[in-house]
Structure 1
Amino acid sequence: MIILAATPIGNLGDASTRLVEALGRVDVIASEDTRVTIHLMRALGVENRPQLIAMHEHNEHEKAVELVELARDSDVLVLTDAGMPAISDPGFPLVAAAAAAGVTVTALPGPSAVITALALSGLATDRFTFEGFMPRKGRVAALARLAREPRTMVFFESPHRLGDTVRDIALALGDDRRIAVCRELTKLYEEVKRGTAGELGEWASSGVRGEICIVVEGAVAPAMDLAAGITEVLSLVAAGTKLRQASVEVAEATGLGRRDLYEGALAAKSQGAARQPSPDGSHPAVRAAGRPGPTSDGAPPAP
């Protein structure tokens, strides 16, 4: 099988017992940097000498085929330099190839910079989205597309771009958008800076070192009453969205009840249809009551 194993993101003490056991028994290890893997094994006192195969962003598609075939006969342990493989690190093409080939994939869970930063941020943790690394170009436009995202957002960023990125967050999302910059998580100089994008701009521009996670507060939904919410649902429906899906989207964005929105929009649609005359001029409400419409020559119906 393929075994995805989380490695420490800074503190060696976070290596799990299962990780140490796997390092000591497998015959094949695919890792982002084999030198980092050798160092990790030595630090953990593992004396196994497995076959080491480098699998990184430049060759992971090519190596996926080879590793899937190896995994048919033996366990293949997959490691990245820190954290869980396939999460903004090599691994996804291998997992997809293994799933397509019917080869079992399992995981040894462990440290995660994303979850650790989110938990320490002081921002909402009930719903979040991981956005990976900030784009090097077009950051303001990319952030602007997330301006109405209600979930807490987690990003990776390099230290030398941190100042520009915090400035762009303030520009795209507003100076008052709350953020937390988490650096060197689980390491000796771990630091979490919390504040608004405007407040942290100067600190971020002064020069920061280490591995960086940025946690950004989700957009606060504007206050909206049920009538306005129903109108928004009907607007989405008019644009081609299914009524049920439109109700869900507006409910998530406003905090209004999905069922209330759905039933209210359904009733509004029914009332709207009831007010529309038919092509022959008769009114639906009249027809529903069993009364005939006008005759073909426009004369009123006979009593």
Structure 2
Amino acid sequence: MDIPVFEENIEPRTLYVVATPIGNLADITLRALYILENVDLIACEDTRRTALLLQYYGIEKPLISFHSHSGKKRFTEIRDRLETETIALVSDAGSPCVSDPGAELVAYLIQNGFSIRPIPGPSAAISALSASGLDTREFTFRGFLGKKGLRQRVKEILKCPETQIVYESPQRLVNLLRLICEIDPNRDVVVAREVTKLYEEFIRKTAKECLEYFADKEVKGEITLLIAGDHKKAVYTEEEVAKLLKERFDQGQSLRDATKELAKELGIPKNSIYEIGLNITRQ
């Protein structure tokens, strides 16, 4: 494939953070291909996996590994090589540094005076959210929840009014669904499996129904779990919200701070509260 030529110089002392496909190899931007073809070196989570992507697009570049087990020596090596070479950072799939060890490298290089340039593209979390059918106005990305204190974390997450996005391994999905069911079996959830791949699957059901669906299955592939926000809170009229806002204004709070507090307390979208507050200030 001939890579288009862009009027973009590959800048020195700059790490290019390049998003790569999460499954379908066609889901890569032309700019990402241009950067990968024109840098001197590519740092990647798994050199074998990245080599397959580069081979598919006819790109030949030296690769070095950078992953969660990379020691301090690799950090300093990349720092030193950035003095004279141009480098791109990629993960196994999706956007590097999001629930990914690349975040530590980026922080380290910023502290050492280097520039970071994002080359946007695929993200499993955002792709799953866009097709979930859940409320997308506000959401929280949790990454992998892990094993330690999982039950307590699930309890806290289920109290949140905004949509929650979680990554989970296929081996632990059923256990996570079971914990959600113990607290709120009727909560709407979406299990997005193998997004953009051949066997892509979206299961949109209650937590209880999803648990029943997956309980006896051998779950495989990449999993993104989306959990609807807690909407079982009291319904507040505009007059009631306005009264609560006025009380906070009388206490010296700004509209911004009062909006943030009430949104968290009442489970109402910030923009709705802010509009009511603006009407008060205009009176």
What band does the TM-score fall into relative to the shorter chain? 0.7 to 0.9
| Cα distance change on mapping 1:7 and 1:260 into 2, 3 Å | closer
Q: How does 1:159-170 map to 2 (within 5 A)?
A: 159-170=170-181
Helix, strand or coil at the partner of 1:131: strand
Q: For this pair of structures, how many residues does the alignment match?
A: 257
Match of 1:24 among 23, 29, 37: 37
Cα distance change on mapping 1:119 and 1:60 into 2, 3 Å: farther
Distance (Å, rounded) in 2 between the aligned partners of 1:168 and 1:196: 13
Name the residue aligned to 2:107: 96
1:143-162 per-residue CA deviation (whole Å, 9 max, x = no partner) reads 11123211111100111111
| Pairing partner for 2:47 from 34, 42, 56 | 34
Q: Cα deviations across residues 68-92 of structure 1 (Å, max 9, x unaligned)?
A: 2222322111011100110111211
* SS, match of residue 197 in structure 2: coil
Aligned match of 1:181 in 183, 191, 205?
191
The verdict on how the C-alpha distance between 1:56 and 1:152 changes in structure 2, with shifts beyond 3 A counting, is: same
TM-score (norm 2): 0.81
Distance in 1 (alpha carbons) for counterparts of 2:163 and 2:174: 20
Kept after mapping to 2: 8 A contact 1:156/1:214: yes
Partner of 2:5 in structure 1? none
Structure 2 vs 1, CA of residues 61 and 205 (structure 1 numbering), >3 Å: closer, same or farther? farther
Q: Does 1:49 align with 2:65?
A: no
Identity of aligned residues (%): 35
- Residues 153-212 of structure 1: per-residue CA shift (max 9 Å, x gap): 11001111111111111223x111111000011011100000111111111222221100
Q: 1:98 to 1:26 in 2, by over 3 A?
A: same
Distance in 1, Cα, partners of 2:85 & 2:172? 42
Native 8 Å contact 2:41 2:61 kept in 1: no
What letter matches 2:225 in structure 1? Answer: I
Deviations 1:71-120 (A, max 9, x none): 23221110111001101112111111222222111021111101100011
Say yes or no: does 1:223 pair with 2:235: yes
Q: Residues 68 and 94 of structure 1 are in contact (CA less than 8 Å); yes or no, is this contact kept in structure 2?
A: no
1:199 aligned partner, one-letter code: E
Please state if 1:79 is matched with 2:93. Answer: no
Query: CA distance change for structure 1 residues 80 and 189 in 2, over 3 Å: closer, same or farther?
Result: same
Question: Is 2:106–2:116's contact at 8 Å kept on the other side of the alignment?
Answer: yes
- Asked if 1:202 corresponds to 2:216, the answer is no
Instruction: Provide closer, same or farther for how the CA distance between residues 233 and 59 of structure 1 changes in structure 2, counting only shifts above 3 A.
Output: farther
Q: 1:211 aligns with which of 202, 215, 222?
A: 222
The Cα RMSD (Å) is 2.6
Aligned residue identity for 1:257: I
In the alignment, structure 1 residue 136 sits paired with structure 2 residue 152: no
Q: Deviations over 1:264-295 (max 9, x none)?
A: 9xxxxxxxxxxxxxxxxxxxxxxxxxxxxxxx
Distance between the aligned counterparts of 1:28 and 1:177, measured in 2?
47
CA contact under 8 A between 2:20 and 2:94: conserved in structure 1?
Answer: yes
Q: Residue 70 of structure 1 is aligned with which of 65, 81, 84?
A: 81
2:281 is equivalent to residue 249 of structure 1: no
- 1:229 and 1:250 in contact (8 A); partners too: no
- Determine the C-alpha separation between the residues in 1 that align with 2:119 and 2:259: 39
Give the 3 Å change call, closer, same or farther, for CA 147–61 of structure 1 in structure 2. farther
- Per the TM alignment, residue 247 of structure 1 is displaced from its structure 2 partner at its CA by 4.6
Q: 1:258 Cα deviation (Å)?
A: 4.6
Q: Secondary structure at the match of 1:160?
A: coil
The amino acid of 2:80's aligned partner reads E
Structure 2 vs 1, CA of residues 147 and 232 (structure 1 numbering), >3 Å: closer, same or farther? farther
Against the structure 1 CA distance between its residues 43 and 101, is the aligned structure 2 distance closer, same or farther, given a 3 Å change threshold?
same
Contact 2:161 / 2:268 at 8 angstroms: preserved in 1? no
Distance 1:177 1:150 in 2: 12
Counterpart-to-counterpart distance in 2, 1:184 and 1:122: 17
Give 1:16 deviation, angstroms: 2.0
Amino acid at match of 2:108: A
1:180 is matched by which residue type in structure 2?
V
Give distance in 1, aligned partners of 2:162 and 2:33: 36
Higher relative contact order at CA 8 Å, sep ≥6: structure 1 or structure 2?
Answer: 2
Match of 1:290 in 2: none
- Unpaired runs of 5+ residues, structure 1, are 265-303
Is residue 83–residue 112 contact of structure 1 (8 Å, CA) maintained in 2?
A: yes
